[in-house]
Amino acid sequence: MDANIVLLPGDGIGPEIVVQGKRVLEAIAAKFGHSFTISEHPIGGNAIDDFGDPLPQPTIDACKASQAILLGAVGGPKWDDPTAKTRPEVGLLKIRQELGLFANLRPIQTWDELVDASPIRREIVAGTDILFFRELTGGIYFGDSGRRPHASGEEAYNEMVYSTGEVERVVRLAAKAAQTRRGKLTSVDKANVLEVSRLWRQVADRVVKEEFPDLEYEVVLVDAMAMHLISRPKDFDVVVTGNMFGDILTDAASMLPGSLGLLPSASLGSDGPGLYEPIHGSAPDIAGQNIANPLATILATAMLLRHSLGLEDEAKAIEDVVAATLKAGHRTKDIAGGGAFVSTTEMGDIVVNQLG
């Protein structure tokens, strides 16, 4: 197939890891006979330096014309001045908004070879394979907010709002993903207390009943979910929830595998390109040293192929090679536990060679 893929390397280790992702995409194109047109565009701190704007218009135009976007990371101490006119992170928020990316996908998968580094016991955590869908553009983070006078001084408020349509579209995406996985969907809410959650549950129940009757479906209250995630993470397949609950639960879940450096994420809209990135930041403390772990970014390219281009075999090929690489004992510094390690580029070589 022909596809137009945009790379947004960003700041810090971003360029070092995205170039490894690019090599993997090129290897996949060669192996499976695809033609990927890949172009790079500025975002974040470097774009502020060069163009005075963390998201220059040509970057937006290129993203909108693409099928999928691979992002490194943005930000760093150089741009941390709170009095600055703009910040690198603004570029990221703006591109998500421009592309209407309302669903954040975060797979939480454990790697058997690394799971002893998990704060949770091996018997509980090994074999965990969860795909979170967090609603990204609604809920309490985007509701009306403000302060007003109060007898004790003042009071502050944030409104949590979800519409039928907002719940439907994210539940539908999550349910579709569950059909291609183990066929189980868990919707997380707080319907015993929140009216917003009662609507969420009503809509989720209906969408699943009418459109996905074949799925195993359950609803779980968010407080109970926090417990279950730690005590029986293996019981979950696809989990869908609102913006704030998803924010908190996915951060908690990201500790389960024992290695933050291996987790990718995706942000999707209804149509148009998806945005794929590692969950870690720009790691300015190790930038330019060729020691960053590129595997989260490489796993993000697998998500890109699966979710934006529909190339499941190609995605699986990358995931299998990453698993084999870890099994063979190849480690970057962050996961070497003080032992021998390979560089960023060497890890890229190891993965690319197996795709050859």
- Active-site residues: which are they? 141, 190, 223, 247, 251
Backbone angles phi and psi of 203, in degrees to 5? -70, -45
Q: Is residue 86 annotated as involved in ligand binding?
A: yes
Strand 153-158, strand 145-150: pairing: antiparallel
178 binds, among Mg ion, ligand ATP, none (CB under 5 to 8 A by kind): none
- Return the range that interacts with ligand ATP (CB under 6 A); candidates 22-30, 197-205, 276-284, 302-310: 276-284
Q: Which is nearer to ligand ATP, 17 or 220 (CB)?
A: 17
Q: Is residue 201 annotated as involved in ligand binding?
A: no
Is residue 10 involved in binding ligand ATP (CB under 6 A)? Answer: no
Least Cβ distance, residue 149 to ligand ATP (angstroms): 35
Is residue 104 involved in binding ligand ATP (CB under 6 A)? Answer: no
Is residue 72 involved in binding Mg ion (CB under 5 A)? Answer: no
Question: Hey, what amino acid is at 156?
Answer: A
> Which residues in the 308-347 window bind ligand ATP by CB under 6 A?
334
Q: Is residue 81 annotated as involved in ligand binding?
A: yes
Backbone angles phi and psi of 273, in degrees to 5? -70, 150
Tokens found for residue 299? 């796993």
Q: Which is nearer to ligand ATP, 296 or 342 (CB)?
A: 296
Backbone angles phi and psi of 308, in degrees to 5? -100, -30
CB-CB contact of 332 with 342 (8 Å): yes
Question: Hey, what amino acid is at 266?
Answer: A
Q: How many CB atoms neighbour CB 208 within 10 A?
A: 24
Per-residue interface string for the shown chain with ligand ATP, residues 242-271, x marking contact by CB under 6 A: -------------------x----------
Sequence-ordered alpha helix ranges (H) in the chain: 14-32, 45-51, 57-64, 88-98, 122-125, 164-180, 195-211, 222-231, 243-253, 295-307, 312-327, 344-355
Give the Å distances, CA to CA, from 43 to 33, 85, 93: 30, 16, 11
Per-residue interface string for the shown chain with ligand ATP, residues 74-93, x marking contact by CB under 6 A: -x------------------
Report the residue from 45, 281, 294, 348 that binds Mg ion according to the rule CB under 5 A: 281
Is residue 283 involved in binding ligand ATP (CB under 6 A)? Answer: yes
Q: How many CB atoms neighbour CB 176 within 10 A?
A: 14
Least Cβ distance, residue 301 to ligand ATP (angstroms): 14
Which residue ranges make up the site for ligand ATP (CB under 6 A)? Answer: 13, 75, 261, 280-283, 285-286, 292-293, 296, 334
Which residues contact Mg ion by CB under 5 A? 281-282
Provide the annotated binding site.
76-89, 96, 106, 134, 223, 247, 251, 281-293
